[in-house]
Chain A
Amino acid sequence: MYTKIMVPVDLAHVEKLERALDTAAKLSKLYNAPVAYVGVTAAAPGPLGHNAAEYAARLEAFAKDQGARHGISTQSRPVVSHDPAVDLSDALVEAVKTTGSDLVVMATHIPNVADHLWPSNGGRLATHTNASVFLVRS
């Protein structure tokens, strides 16, 4: 039913992603669909790397680790953004297209007032791509 699953990951908060990662792995096995882990970073140095290349290496290691742990086929897709705090949704929309994913599995928080001011990333993916979106409460 699905040919490729995309999982947006924030490497700074992997502990909050456990359920989403688990769900994605199980769906991957069920449909025999590879998982693409997408991370969005800025080119400026950050906690996850001095530059985009270091970040890419870290994301790749993460994808390999997930593959080995769950016995699934994985890949990584880092996306460099000028302003990740604001452009995250757009970056993810673009990543759905470039990875050719038809299912997005992503962790989500409990909605609050701020969601009325800043639209959720999941909602934006559902309205701006053809992929199905599976939001997983952490």
Chain B
Amino acid sequence: MSDAGIPAPEGPSALIETDYEIGQDNITAQIGPFGLDIHNPVFLISGLTAVAFVLLTLAFQEQAGPIFNSMREWLTSTFDWFFLLSANIFVLLCLFLIVSPYGKVRIGGKEATPDYSYSGWFAMLFAAGMGIGLMFYGVSEPISHFSSSVAEDAGTADSWAPLGGAAGDVVTARHLGMAATIFHWSLHPWAIYAVVALALALFAYNKGLPLTIRSIFYPIFGERTWGWPGHVIDVVAVFATLFGLATSLGFGAEQANAGLNHLFGLPVNDVSKVLLIVGITAIALGSVVAGLDAGVKRLSEINMILAALLLFFVLVVGPTWAILTGFFTNLYEYARYLPELSNPFGRTDDNFRDGWTSFYWAWWISWSPFVGMFIARISRGRTVREFLTCVLIIPSLVSVFWMTAFGGTAISQIVDNGYQVIVDAPLELKLFSMLEAMPLQAITSFIGIVLVIVFFVTSSDSGSLVIDTITAGGKVDAPTPQRVFWATFEGLVAIALLLGGGLGALQAMAVSTGFPFTIVLLLASFAIIKGLASEPR
């Protein structure tokens, strides 16, 4: 927080003149002791449809699951080429912007100064972007790709191996497994987030439009952005964020429960899971009430330190030399396989392309309104070049290193030491199985559990902040009880779905929103170029 009053003049930037006044459609009211400042109709529609969807899913569980799942499968297999092609466009656009003269444009005006230090900024954007995923997939995904690639049936129609795999060839399968994992966790996902974040930051901080998803559409819809087309976009964004978070929270509680059972023998049942959701939501509420700086930022920084400690431990205690050289080998293999892995057309590895890559892209894209908007909120004062380097390149390198340390070590344990426990362990326990084969496993596993829980807290917290801003018409200073409402609502939806069933169904529904948002992102790419062209450099 700045205590020196207004920073130096923000310098020239090209404001968009619009008749719309932020908050003009808002309803302010007093319900009991609590003040409200909400967008009409986005808040009500989002809240009511969310409740309706939860109730319908609970009432028609048997029908809902297959319907939503087949919708997701149909989208990711029919439009696989569209997801792959679009993601490639986002990566190329970001790389182009880094080297182009547009890279010099500063978010927030020519003379704006950064709101956050590099460490606080990076910790927050990384925690929001993929912290939790790296915990669960860091060990399991490299093993999956390695196992399917080296298997006898690699290359057949039933195989899930990337690019046909390398049946029986351990060395190639290992390279392919790591390259495929890195492909899913580095440039492409971060480029997806970066496009949304950059578009929003540019249109809010430089053009003066409200910090909400619909603002990206101003160059296309003009003043109609503030009417129904905009309402629909914002409602879908709230929807994707809310269900994405609530279902992840539900599954996360199941996974954390399994981890705690493995470590401390905590029974695996509904009571434990509900208590975990309540606990996570309670910490998130504390963090929400503490605000951006004292809440999310501090927790993200703590998590970064813990994650770094765990990474350092695996590096030192695990095969140090293999990890260090593996980092460069894997980078090279990633670059080598990248053209083939990202090719949308004429491929034969249907299972891998649709079931993994296309699914991942839809998933990242469905998260992009949330993560992108959060990154936008905290990125004022950075140049476009700085922004993209820190949102695209550095997180990608961190992902490569993380995957090499965790996935590479796990593959070594299997191949070199014949350690089969990891292969047999269920998804949520693979990380712990890997740590078990190393010293001090009680401590490292405990750190692992804490990391998982805190990453959930930061997601829930930043998600509530984002939903609140969207449903307040782009106002970032709406009354705090609204954020408390959304964080609580998320927890309740998670509990309802956990107990009543339907977590998988609604998650499939949330991932399906990746399809309409791919179109939003393509339009955002166009808006970025158009917006940057009018900015003083």
Contacts and interface: CB of A to CB of B under 8 A. Distances in A.
B293 A114 contact: no
A130 to B, nearest CB: 17
A45 interface: yes
B197 to A, nearest CB: 14
A52 B32 CA distance: 32
A51 B109 contact: yes
Interface in B1-20: 1-7, 9-10, 13, 15
B23 A56 contact: no
Interface string B273-293: 000000000000000011111
Interface string A83-117: 11111001100110110000000000000111100
Nearest to A49: B208
B1 to A, nearest CB: 5
B520 interface: no
B9 A43 contact: no
A32 B481 CA distance: 41
A110 B46 CA distance: 32
B209 interface: yes
Contacts of A114: 33-34, 481
Contacts of A124: none
Nearest to B17: A50
A108 to B, nearest CB: 14
Contacts of A53: 6, 9-10
A56 B7 CA distance: 10
A85 B476 contact: yes
A43 B15 CA distance: 14
Contacts of B1: 80-83, 87, 90-91, 94
B231 interface: no
B424 interface: no
B7 A52 contact: yes
Contact of A98 (B4, B33, B474, B477): B4
B9 A82 contact: no
B184 interface: no
Contacts of A50: 15, 208
A78 interface: yes
B205 interface: yes
A44 interface: yes
Nearest to A13: B28
B505 interface: no
A46 B23 contact: yes
Contact of B480 (A41, A44, A85, A94): A85
Q: Classify the interface of chain A: helix, strand, loop or mixed.
A: mixed
Interface string B248-289: 000000000000000000000000000000000000000001
Contacts of A112: 32-33
A45 B212 CA distance: 11
B493 interface: no
B537 interface: no
B210 A45 contact: yes
B208 A51 contact: yes
A47 B476 CA distance: 11
B23 to A, nearest CB: 4
Interface in B456-480: 474-480
Contact of A87 (B34, B211, B293, B380): B293
Nearest to A113: B33
B21 interface: yes
Interface string B181-198: 000000000000000000
B22 interface: yes
B495 to A, nearest CB: 23
A39 B109 CA distance: 22
Nearest to B4: A98
Contacts of B2: 79-81
A113 B32 contact: yes
Contacts of B292: 82-83, 86-87
Nearest to B7: A80
Interface in B466-511: 474-481, 483
Contacts of A81: 1-2
B204 interface: yes
Nearest to B482: A85
B298 interface: no
A44 to B, nearest CB: 5
A46 B33 contact: no
A82 to B, nearest CB: 5
B7 A45 contact: no
B115 interface: yes
Contacts of A56: 6
A42 interface: yes
B291 A87 contact: yes
B420 to A, nearest CB: 50
Given A82-B293, A91-B1, A43 B210 contact: no
B6 A44 contact: no
B118 to A, nearest CB: 16
21 contacts: A43-B205, A45-B211, A46-B22, A47-B24, A47-B475, A53-B9, A78-B6, A80-B1, A80-B5, A81-B2, A82-B378, A83-B476, A84-B477, A85-B291, A86-B291, A87-B292, A91-B3, A97-B3, A98-B5, A112-B32, A114-B34
Interface of A: 41-47, 50-53, 56, 77-87, 90-91, 94-95, 97-98, 112-115, 118
Interface of B: 1-7, 9-10, 13, 15, 21-24, 32-34, 108-109, 115-116, 204-205, 208-211, 289-294, 377-378, 380, 474-481, 483
Which 3 A-B pairs give the minimum distances between C-beta atoms?
A: A50-B208, A86-B291, A114-B33
